[in-house]
Amino acid sequence: MNITEILFWFLTALAILSALMVVFSRNPVHSVLWLILVFFAISGHYIMLNAQFLAIVNLIVYAGAIMVLFLFVIMLMNMNSDSEPQKNKWLKMAGTVAGGSLLLILVAALKNSEVQYQKVEGAQGTIGLIHNLGKTLFTDYVVPFEISSVLFLSAMVGAVVIGKKD
């Protein structure tokens, strides 16, 4: 077992355990923090696949902006035990049955699938590098790229006009 496989299994275990802690954590702020750790583990997988751009975008957009938004919404909701609705035992049982059914379907789908073992050649390949993305974006897709930039500019101007007070 080489260092790449050890790192892969470590990041996989970290992602799975952190995802479980997101679900089972009672405090919503702790759930958001565990979810940030999941995003870091996923970014580690992207780096191992030689997709540095996806790793950085994942960290900036999801672990940065989206999680800050989640934290603000959780703090604005001011969740405490008085405002939390009481849990019904029938709802718990229905949730358990639904989760068990989903697990059964997933196991049945995985049982019928074929597993192919292939090694990923991430270190030698050029797939996922920013240079290739920029080259493709500015040669093959330059017109849609420019149209989307004009669309974003008009959306920003519209947001400023709507937000401006008389």
What are the structural domain ranges in the chain?
A: 1-80, 126-166
How far, rounded to the nearest angstrom, does the alpha carbon of residue 160 sit from its chain's CA centroid? 30
Q: What's the pLDDT at 125?
A: 62
Contact between 122 and 48 (Cβ < 8 Å): yes
pLDDT in the model for residue 120: 56
Paired tokens of 52:
């540095």
**Residue numbers of the chain with a pLDDT score lower than 70:** 78-86, 115-128, 165-166
With a CB cutoff of 8 Å and minimum separation 6, the contacts of 52 are 46, 128, 129, 130
Please say whether the dihedral angle defined by the alpha carbons of residues 128, 134, 140 and 145, taken in this order, is positive or negative. Answer: positive
pLDDT at 45: 94
- Whole-number pLDDT of residue 19: 94
For residue 46, how far is the Cα from the chain centroid? Answer: 12
What pTM does this model have?
0.61
Task: Determine the residue type at 118.
Answer: Q
CATH no. for 1-80: 1.20.120.1200
